């Protein structure tokens, strides 16, 4: 059997992968981290976890003052992210919220909560701590990793895809492949893109020096191979 030669990565290699919802960030980032023997951090899950905590506490996600009070109060939620790419976990005060944070209620509120400066400040600190303590390195994915959180990362990638393709992928994930569901998903994605790219704090944007990969016409393996190849160039 032929041996597959993987790139030799340097110590503490940090790969920042950004992009809009449905661009393939999570699946690609986990696969790249597994291939290269690195840790993995889903920052989007962290914002969703905070959003879940806000809703669970009965706080209106559109009430900035109330969200700030929760995050700075004695009952501020404790977010714990597991960084094993083969089994990433997300806990709020010790409760596994991996499933509920993907529900419609959290999805509808996450943009509002994510735009609160205090939320971003606290989570950015936590994300940077994960990167600093990542051992051999880490793949961090989100919407402002290369531009804000880890702007000095040696490899910054911006994944994108046509909104219609992203909608089809999201619909396939939820087994809702009928035309109506896909259309509704595409509309929701476009709305989320607009909110994320125009918010005042850490908007979604391609970071300076980031390499853009349009995944519209690429297979999953092709995208993973492309990122792994880029990692070998900076190692």
Q: Is residue 1 part of a domain?
A: no
pLDDT tens column, 72-128: 999 999 999 999 999 999 999 999 999 999 998 999 999 899 999 999 999 999 999
Q: Is residue 233 part of a domain?
A: no
Q: Is residue 92 part of a domain?
A: yes
pLDDT tens column, 2-52: 333 344 444 479 999 999 888 889 999 999 999 999 999 999 999 999 999
- Residue 48: give its domain's CATH number: 3.40.50.300
Q: Is residue 159 part of a domain?
A: yes
DSSP 22: T
Comparing 69-78, 157-166, 181-190, 206-215, the range with the smallest average pLDDT is 181-190
Residue closest to 112 by CA, chosen among 201, 45, 26, 25: 201
Q: Is residue 8 part of a domain?
A: no
Task: Please give the model's pTM, rounded to 2 decimal places.
Answer: 0.85
The sheet that has 79-81: what strands, in order across it? 79-81, 90-92, 95-96
Q: Is residue 29 part of a domain?
A: yes
Residue closest to 18 by CA, chosen among 111, 115, 143, 120: 143
Q: Which pLDDT value is given to residue 1?
A: 33
Residue numbers of the domain that contains 211: 13-228
Q: Is residue 73 part of a domain?
A: yes
Residue closest to 210 by CA, chosen among 141, 144, 145, 156: 156
Q: Is residue 109 part of a domain?
A: yes
Distance of CA 143 to the CA centre of its chain: 6
How many independent structural domains does the chain possess? 1
């Amino acid at each position: 059997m032929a041996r597959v030669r993987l790139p030799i990565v340097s110590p503490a290699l940090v790969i920042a992968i950004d992009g809009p919802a449905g661009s393939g960030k999570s699946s690609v980032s986990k696969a790249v981290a597994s291939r290269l023997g690195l840790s993995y951090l889903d920052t989007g899950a962290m914002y969703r976890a905070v959003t879940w905590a806000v809703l669970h506490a009965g706080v209106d996600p559109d009430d900035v003052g109330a969200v700030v009070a929760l995050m700075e109060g004695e009952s501020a939620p404790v977010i714990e992210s597991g960084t094993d790419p083969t089994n990433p976990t997300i806990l709020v005060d010790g409760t596994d919220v991996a499933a509920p944070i993907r529900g419609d209620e959290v999805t509808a509120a996450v943009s509002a909560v994510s735009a609160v400066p205090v939320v971003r400040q606290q989570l950015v600190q936590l994300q940077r701590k994960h990167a600093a303590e990542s051992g051999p390195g880490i793949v961090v994915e989100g919407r402002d990793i290369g531009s804000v959180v880890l702007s000095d990362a040696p490899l910054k990638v911006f994944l994108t895809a046509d909104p219609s393709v992203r909608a089809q992928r999201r619909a396939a994930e939820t087994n809702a492949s009928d035309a109506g569901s896909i259309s509704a998903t595409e509309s929701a994605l476009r709305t989320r893109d607009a909110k994320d790219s125009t918010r005042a704090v850490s908007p979604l944007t391609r970071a300076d020096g980031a390499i853009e990969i349009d995944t519209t016409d690429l297979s999953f393996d092709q995208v993973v191979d492309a990122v792994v190849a880029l990692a070998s160039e900076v190692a």
